[in-house]
């Protein structure tokens, strides 16, 4: 059942049986980066901030370097380099389609990132659409909707399905359910297959924010029966400014063109005839070819490695990190659905006696560790988890009132990085 694909990586078929074609886990650029710490020493950087932006995979950098000599215009040149670059751009679309297991007739629109993708879809919703969204969402998925019903953080996964069921049943007209696949705050996996089922039972569609899932787990849009998915290249080891919105064509073919300009039109005279193919309709102007090539190279590299090896290593490290932090008095991990709920490589926590900013600054300045602190652009959710209420200063992603520290891992993370974080937090607590 597709829910299991999402909920328990260790029990998925791909995790159980090594793939015959899998290759070694590729390296990331910057693995040997050294950074200054207090006293002027240089130490190897422990990058534990993958959920914000992941480092570049070597095969991604190689693909971009290989594409540069023939870099040229896309969709508008007769020259050989232009044709080659156009072919590479369109091949990238096919690769992204296959990576998320999209249906053959789904659209794949290159965007800047997940935020761009959710906003693009928001502009294409049929007149009168009501969106149902949980307060646990990242702002990229919480905010773009004109008419939204916001649901409180559910106490357990079944409650998420029940609350969505009730909310969708009460809505007349077109409806869209928006939900994250993996929380950027807790890493916890959401029951997206069950939510897709409920959405469809009410004639609604579902958009899944896969920004934090696709760097860590295989996603199959067709098997899960999702209508749309959105994700970002820079979280998928492809930091070249591209993301994607993938999903059903009809709303996208009829929606207002996201950008108005060259490429989105068939002809311009007294009136304008817009493309009704979603890709040109919403990708006006010169596209981010290198971003798309980079994104596709990351998809290829992850697929070639196989999820078995990736998931196994991530689960080993995240279990070590969580149990290490749990052994320190005064450290509290944030969790919506409890310790045993499956999650990707993200852990948010608080340290008694310190603000999150103090912890993050000490980790960086004294130990060469990079983490994120704040509310992670998920203000309502972090407030809920911390049991704090909003204040006037909660206007951006960086305020440190009622905040947490977030450590996140991925390809290139090592046991030494994890152990250094645990020992650094232990050391900070011992000084309190």
Ligand X SMILES: Cc1ncc(COP(=O)(O)O)c(C=O)c1O
Q: Which residues bind ligand X (CB under 6 A)?
A: 113-115, 138, 140-141, 180, 184, 209, 211-212, 232, 234, 377
Nearer of residues 75 and 112 to ligand X, judged by Cβ = 112
Taking the C-alpha atoms of residue 154 and residue 158, their distance in angstroms, rounded to an integer, is 8
Q: Is 377 a known active-site residue?
A: yes
Report d(CA 139, CA 389) in Å as an integer.
17
How far apart CA 49 and CA 372 sit, in angstroms, is: 6
Nearer to ligand X, 140 or 418 (CB): 140
* Least separation in angstroms between CB 144 and ligand X: 11
State the maximum Cα–Cα separation within the chain, in Å, rounded to a whole number: 74
Residue placing its CB nearer to ligand X in the complex, 242 or 369: 242
CA distance 159 to 389: 23
Which residue do the tokens 């232990």 mark? 426
**Residues, the chain:** 432
| Closest distance of CB 295 from ligand X, Å | 12
> To the nearest whole angstrom, how small is the minimum distance from the Cβ of residue 246 to ligand X?
15
Compare residues 180 and 305 and give the one whose CB is closer to ligand X: 180
Tokens encoding 111: 């965007």
CA distance 357 to 239: 26
Asked if residue 245 lies in contact with residue 228, where contact means CB atoms within 8 angstroms, the answer is: yes
What distance in Å separates the CA atoms of residue 89 and residue 74, rounded to the nearest whole number? 8
Q: How far is the CB of 406 from ligand X (least distance, A)?
A: 10
- Check if the beta carbon of residue 194 is closer than 8 Å to that of residue 205: no
Name which of 86 and 119 has its Cβ closer to ligand X: 119
Instruction: List the catalytic residue out of 56, 124, 377, 432.
Output: 377
Tokens of 97: 């389609």
Nearest distance from residue 46's CB to ligand X, in Å? 20
> How many whole angstroms separate alpha carbon 271 and alpha carbon 12?
53
Catalytic site residues?
377
């Amino acid at each position: 059942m597709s829910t299991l694909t999402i909920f328990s990586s260790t029990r998925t078929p791909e995790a159980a049986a090594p793939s015959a074609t899998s290759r070694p886990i590729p390296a990331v650029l910057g693995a040997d980066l050294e950074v200054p710490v207090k006293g002027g020493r240089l130490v190897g950087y422990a990058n534990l901030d993958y959920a914000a932006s992941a480092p570049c995979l070597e095969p991604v950098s190689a693909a971009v370097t290989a594409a540069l000599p023939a870099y040229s215009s896309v969709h508008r040149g007769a020259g050989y380099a232009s044709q080659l670059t156009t072919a590479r751009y369109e091949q990238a679309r096919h690769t992204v389609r296959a990576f998320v297991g999209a249906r053959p007739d789904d659209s794949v629109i290159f965007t800047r990132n997940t935020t761009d993708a959710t906003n693009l879809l928001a502009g294409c919703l049929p007149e009168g659409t009501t969106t149902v969204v949980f307060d646990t969402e990242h702002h990229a998925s919480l905010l773009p909707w004109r008419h939204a019903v916001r649901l409180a953080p559910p106490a357990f996964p079944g409650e998420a399905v029940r609350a969505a069921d009730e909310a969708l049943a009460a809505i007349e007209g077109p409806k869209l359910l928006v939900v994250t696949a993996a929380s950027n705050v807790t890493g916890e996996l959401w029951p997206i297959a069950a939510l897709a089922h409920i959405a469809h039972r009410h004639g609604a569609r579902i958009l899944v924010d896969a920004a934090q899932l696709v760097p860590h787990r295989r996603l199959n849009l067709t098997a899960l029966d999702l209508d749309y998915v959105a994700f970002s290249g820079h979280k998928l080891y492809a930091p070249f400014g591209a993301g994607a919105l993938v999903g059903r064509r009809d709303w996208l073919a009829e929606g207002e063109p996201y950008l108005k300009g060259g490429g989105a039109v068939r002809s311009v005279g007294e009136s304008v005839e817009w493309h009704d193919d979603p890709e040109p309709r919403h990708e006006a102007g010169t596209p981010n070819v290198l971003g798309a090539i980079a994104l596709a190279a990351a998809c290829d590299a992850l697929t070639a490695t196989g999820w078995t090896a990736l998931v196994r290593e991530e689960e080993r490290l995240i279990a070590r990190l969580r149990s290490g932090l749990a052994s320190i008095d005064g450290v509290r991990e944030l969790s919506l659905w409890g310790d045993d709920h499956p999650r990707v490589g993200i852990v948010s926590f608080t340290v008694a006696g310190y603000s999150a900013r103090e912890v993050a600054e000490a980790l960086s300045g004294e130990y060469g560790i990079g983490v994120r602190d704040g509310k992670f652009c998920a203000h309502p959710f972090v407030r809920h988890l911390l049991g704090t209420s909003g204040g006037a200063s909660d206007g951006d992603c960086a305020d440190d009132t009622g905040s947490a520290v977030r450590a996140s891992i991925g390809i290139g993370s090592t046991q030494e990085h994890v152990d250094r974080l645990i020992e650094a937090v232990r050391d900070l607590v011992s000084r309190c």
